[in-house]
Amino acid sequence: MSSKLLFIHFLVTYMVLNEFFLMSISYTTNTYCPSGYPEEGVAIEKENIDKMQFAVNLEFLEAEYFLWASYGFGLDVVAPNLPMSGPPPIGARKANLDQLTNNIIKEFANQEVGHLRSLNSTVGVFPRPLLDLSAKNFAKIFDDAFGHKLVPPFDPYRDSLSYMLSCYVIPYVGLVGYVGTNPNINGYETKRLLAGLLGVESGQDAVIRMYLYERATELVSPYQYTVADFTSRISGLRNKLGNCGIKDEGIYIQ
């Protein structure tokens, strides 16, 4: 081994050991970490609880949709106490995803389980509502977006691109919801929770948009429409539902 390589080897070993050392220190001193909360003020205002719980519906939907598509099972397996005996979703299933897409969706799924746990430990959750995650429900949304029936019907579980297109709608709804909730809440714990949820939803939205940007001119099999066509149709629908001006643009801003 040359001396340069030896040095690098030494450096890496040193850094790794150091990391372990620091980690074990930080574990043992964890109890001294400050909470980061102010000394005065209210943690959670009672009037804010239902405003935050509104998000629970969406978080259940995201958790189940991402878990099923990537792992092939849902909350009843991953965190059986969270649904509180609410009915299992209808029509959810493993999507036909390539490895990269599957890994992205697994990460999203785990983030959503974390969101539900955070909501549970702060404002509390309610039993999982009945969710219809069947392909035909998504097909209806895409037919509405295009203003005519797609043939064959859109199926989000068909392949990676179809699945990512179906996700294009989802974290964004959370993002808009949380931005709308933000001016109406007080309480430092609630505010931290909301900022945490909002940040991660935005990150997911960015990953999905990036994925679709990279494929903007690809045709979405088996249709004669490109990815860009799909996103602008979906954004058109979201604006119609959102009311009051442009809240959303496709991946190509017109």
Ligand X SMILES: *[C@@H]1O[C@H](CO)[C@@H](O)[C@H](O)[C@H]1NC(C)=O
Q: Is residue 175 close enough to count as binding ligand X by CB under 6 A?
A: no
CB of 115 to ligand X, least distance (A): 12
Instruction: Give the Cα separation of 38 and 121 in Å (integer).
Output: 19
Residue 230: exposure state from Cβ atoms within 10 A (0-12, 13-18, ≥19): buried
Q: Which residue in 36, 86, 58 sits closest to 204, CA to CA?
A: 58
Instruction: Give whichever of 116 and 185 is closer to ligand X, judged by the CB atom.
Output: 116
CB 86 → ligand X: shortest distance, Å?
12
Q: Is 76 near ligand X (CB under 6 A)?
A: no
By CB under 6 A, which span of 113-121, 146-154, 187-195, 221-229 interacts with ligand X?
113-121
Question: What is the phi-psi region of residue 44: left when phi exceeds 0, alpha when psi lies from -120 to 50, beta otherwise?
Answer: beta
Q: Does 137 bind ligand X (CB under 6 A)?
A: no
Considering only 24, 26, 81, 186, the residue that binds ligand X (CB under 6 A) is 81
Q: Does 221 bind ligand X (CB under 6 A)?
A: no
**CA terminus-to-terminus distance, the chain:** 58
Site map for ligand X, 12-51, x if CB under 6 A?
----------------------------------------
How open is the CA angle 144-145-148, to the nearest 5 degrees? 55
The yes or no reply on residue 82 touching ligand X (CB under 6 A) is yes
DSSP-H helix ranges across 123-159: 135-146
Among 18, 121, 182, 186, binds ligand X (CB under 6 A): 121
Cβ–Cβ under 8 Å, residues 136 and 90:
no
What is the contact surface with ligand X in residues (CB under 6 A)? 79, 81-82, 117, 120-121
